[in-house]
């Protein structure tokens, strides 16, 4: 370990920044916030964080997908040890998801600046555009483009759930930047994040050394039937797309239970048209999110869902079209970084568990280009993607201190 082992982050400063950022898009009466990607709220959040980066004298760049990276010079030049995450949220987001990884990165840098320490290599903290994918699918979009796995042209053409085009929205909020893409390959990448699940809390463990991220499959389904009068149309003569949507939602749940943990399956969005009490719907549009750590099981789940959709649609006499919104294979993080996270936590007297991530993260994209790992801290009641999301200050502090020392060691 480095000779700066005793160095600690300032938890009050970190909490103050988390609170200030959470005021932007705050959901009244809760701790949560709504900053969907590339909205006015996202812009205001970005401006705040970029201001903090400039206050810390970081060299700030913005690329053509709106990813923002701030670099602190090291004793020698070269690829930085990078950390970061995202500051966009789902519409009903908490204040920690993503934001913690970014603001803890700033805290790491401010701690070093205050202590007068220049790291051997440069350190970078970044926030990636549209990690949530809730407005512009797929999720982890900014980091996907950063590593060159999707072209910036394709990304610019993506349409949001509210009908806006990504490139135009980036320009509108002033975050269509000049930095080259794919982005510079870091020496290593590490992301601090709240677990967003119940495991650490249930087991009384403070730090998760994340071993990888499960595979993610997102599909949008559009079912078209025949709209008709709810009072006069006999049940046997209906072509009701809503029924197929609800049957599929039930099937996805039953399938996940049949395949067993860690298989999960969610129908999170269903839109019926015209969505009226006395009208058999004309169409149903809905989404399917299925995830598993084993790609073979995930492929099997995808096959079974598709088979069910076709059969249920045929039985109802409706037509069905599917569109893949995201498909990412499971990711395994670099053993050396996972070991370093675990060893760093232990050296600080913290309990640690090696565990996979159920949620998607920017780190899974960075893992394609450099040694990568993640640090998890517990989520109270395992709640996330909910304004009630909470992590105790002592756990935030522990996680940020692990991030600090992992970054120093990597540097
Ligand atoms: C992204 O955060 C996801 O896991 O849905
Ligand atoms: Mn996140
Ligand atoms: Mn999230």
pLDDT tens per residue, range 127-181: 999 999 999 999 999 999 999 999 999 999 999 999 999 999 999 999 999 999 9
Query: How much distance in Å is there from the Cα of 110 to the middle of ligand 3?
Result: 26
DSSP 304-322: HHHHHHHHHHHHHT-EEEE
Share the mean pLDDT of the chain: 97
For 33-50, what is the mean pLDDT? 98
Q: Is 105 in the pocket of ligand 1 (CB under 6 A)?
A: no
CA 186 – CA 164 distance, rounded (Å)? 32
What is the pLDDT confidence band of residue 341, given thresholds at 50, 70 and 90? very high
With beta carbons less than 8 A apart as the criterion, state whether 328 and 44 touch. no
Report whether pLDDT(223) > 90: yes
CA 354 – CA 338 distance, rounded (Å)? 8
What is the pLDDT confidence band of residue 2, given thresholds at 50, 70 and 90? very low
Q: What share of the chain in percent tops pLDDT 90?
A: 99
What is the pLDDT confidence band of residue 183, given thresholds at 50, 70 and 90? very high
Counting ligands in written order, which one lies closest to the CA of residue 326?
A: 1
For 79-101, what is the mean pLDDT? 98
Q: Is 242 in the pocket of ligand 1 (CB under 6 A)?
A: no
386-395: pLDDT as tens digits: 999 999 999 9
Counting ligands in written order, which one lies closest to the CA of residue 89?
A: 3
Task: Return the domain boundaries, the chain.
Answer: 2-213+330-410, 215-328
In this structure, CATH architecture of domain 2-213+330-410:
3-Layer(aba) Sandwich (3.40)
Q: Is 360 in the pocket of ligand 1 (CB under 6 A)?
A: yes
Say what the pLDDT of residue 4 is.
66
Task: Tell me which of 132, 143, 363, 384 to substitute to probe ligand 1's pocket, judged by most ligand atoms within 8 Å of the beta carbon.
Answer: 132
Query: How much distance in Å is there from the Cα of 384 to the middle of ligand 1?
Result: 10
Measure the CA dihedral 302/303/308/314, to 10°. Answer: 120
Query: How much distance in Å is there from the Cα of 274 to the middle of ligand 3?
Result: 30
Say what the pLDDT of residue 5 is.
65
Report whether pLDDT(3) > 60: no
Say what the pLDDT of residue 97 is.
98
Nearest-atom number in ligand 1 for the CA of 358 is 4
Say what the pLDDT of residue 6 is.
87
- CB neighbourhood size of 19 (10 A): 12
Q: What share of the chain in percent tops pLDDT 70?
A: 99
For 255-265, what is the mean pLDDT? 97
Nearest-atom number in ligand 1 for the CA of 133 is 1
What's the CA angle centered on 378, arms 373 and 379, to 5 degrees? 115
pTM: 0.94
Using only the alpha carbons of the chain, give its radius of gyration.
22
CA 57 – CA 201 distance, rounded (Å)? 37
Q: Which residues are CB-neighbours of 84 under 8 A, at least 6 positions away?
A: 69, 101, 102, 105, 124, 125, 126, 127, 128, 189, 191, 362
Counting ligands in written order, which one lies closest to the CA of residue 93?
A: 3
Single out the residue of 324, 342, 335 nearest to residue 402, CA to CA.
342
- 215-328 in CATH: which number? 3.30.70.360
Task: Tell me which of 86, 360, 376, 389 to substitute to probe ligand 1's pocket, judged by most ligand atoms within 8 Å of the beta carbon.
Answer: 360
What is the pLDDT confidence band of residue 1, given thresholds at 50, 70 and 90? very low
Say what the pLDDT of residue 88 is.
98
């Amino acid at each position: 370990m480095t000779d700066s082992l005793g160095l600690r982050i300032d938890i009050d400063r970190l909490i103050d920044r988390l609170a200030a950022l959470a005021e932007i898009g705050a959901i009244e009466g809760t701790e949560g916030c709504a900053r969907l990607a590339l909205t006015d709220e996202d812009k205001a959040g970005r401006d705040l964080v970029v201001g903090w980066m400039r206050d810390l004298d970081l060299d700030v760049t913005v690329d053509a997908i709106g990813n923002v990276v701030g670099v602190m010079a090291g004793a020698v030049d070269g690829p930085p040890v990078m950390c970061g995450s995202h500051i966009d949220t789902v519409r009903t987001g908490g204040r920690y998801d993503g934001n913690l990884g970014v603001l803890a990165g700033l805290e790491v840098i401010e701690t070093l600046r205050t202590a007068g320490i220049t790291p051997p290599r440069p350190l970078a903290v970044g926030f990636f555009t549209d990690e949530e994918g809730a407005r512009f699918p797929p999720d982890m979009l900014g980091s996907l483009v950063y590593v060159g796995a999707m072209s910036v042209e394709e990304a610019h053409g993506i349409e949001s759930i509210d009908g806006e085009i990504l490139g135009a929205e980036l320009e509108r909020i002033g975050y269509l930047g000049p930095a080259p893409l794919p982005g510079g390959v870091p020496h290593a990448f590490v992301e601090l994040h709240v677990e967003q699940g119940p495991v650490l809390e249930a087991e009384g463990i403070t730090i998760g050394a994340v071993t990888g991220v499960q595979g993610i499959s997102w599909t949008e389904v559009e079912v078209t039937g025949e709209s008709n009068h709810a009072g006069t149309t006999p049940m046997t003569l209906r072509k009701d797309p809503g029924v197929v949507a609800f049957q599929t939602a039930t099937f996805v749940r039953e399938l996940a239970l049949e395949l067993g943990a860690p298989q999960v399956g969610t129908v999170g969005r269903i839109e019926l048209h015209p969505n009226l009490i006395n009208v058999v719907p004309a169409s149903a549009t809905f989404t399917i999110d299925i995830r598993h750590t084993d790609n073979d099981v995930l492929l099997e789940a995808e096959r079974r869902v598709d088979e069910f959709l076709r059969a249920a649609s045929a039985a109802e006499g409706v037509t069905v079209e599917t569109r893949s919104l995201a498909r990412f294979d499971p990711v395994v993080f670099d053993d050396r970084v996972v070991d370093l996270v675990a060893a760093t936590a232990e050296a600080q007297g913290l309990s640690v568990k090696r565990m996979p991530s159920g949620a998607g993260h920017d780190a899974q994209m960075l893992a394609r280009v450099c040694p990568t790992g993640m640090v998890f801290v517990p989520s109270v009641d395992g709640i996330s993607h909910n304004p009630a999301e909470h992590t105790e200050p002592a756990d935030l502090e522990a996680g940020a201190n692990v991030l600090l020392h992992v970054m120093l060691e990597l540097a």
